[in-house]
Amino acid sequence: MDVQILSLSYRTHRVTAGTQEPRSVAFFDLSNGVKLAIWDQDDLAHDSGLTKAPASSTSFSIGHNVSQRSEVDEVMEQAREAGAAIVKPAQETFYGGYAGYFTDPDGHLWEIVWNPGNLAERTDLSPLP
């Protein structure tokens, strides 16, 4: 399994009229044409025109659901090896699942979770279109 969770740290630069304009944003394709965009806070404040507010890892979390309990530990280890800080090691949950939390190098909070109650009833585990 090659999970690229830490791609949130992706950095791009756009060249405009000979100057570099930072654009730190990562895009993720969701279903039905929906995209998730995660911006660097400075760039989002600039782009939106809003005043930058203090960042907090508890403002939101990004959940990554896996289909097997053992994958939680695998993904958590991959994240740690890639520079994430484990903030809550994987453990049993109150709803009968198994989950853990880490923050990526940009401070985004991720939950890696196996929830048997939310598993799709599919036998074909190939990626969905």
CA triple 95-109-47, angle to 5 deg:
135
| Superfamily covering domain 5-118 | 2,3-Dihydroxybiphenyl 1,2-Dioxygenase, domain 1 (3.10.180.10)
| Residue 94 backbone class (left: φ over 0; alpha: ψ -120 to 50; beta: rest) | alpha
Write down the domain spans for the chain.
5-118
Q: Please indicate whether residue 49 or residue 69 has the higher confidence score (pLDDT).
A: 69
**Tens of pLDDT, residues 71-129:** 999 999 999 999 999 999 999 999 899 999 999 887 888 999 999 988 765 445 555 44
Task: Give the span between the Cα atoms of 41 and 53, in whole angstroms.
Answer: 9
The residues near 113 (Cβ < 8 Å, ≥ 6 apart) are: 63, 64, 65, 66, 72, 93, 97, 98, 99
**54 token code pair:** 């203090």
Of 113, 123, 65, 63, give the one whose Cα is nearest residue 93. Answer: 113
- Considering the entire predicted model, what is its pTM? 0.63
Using a pLDDT cut of 90, give the percent of the chain over it.
32
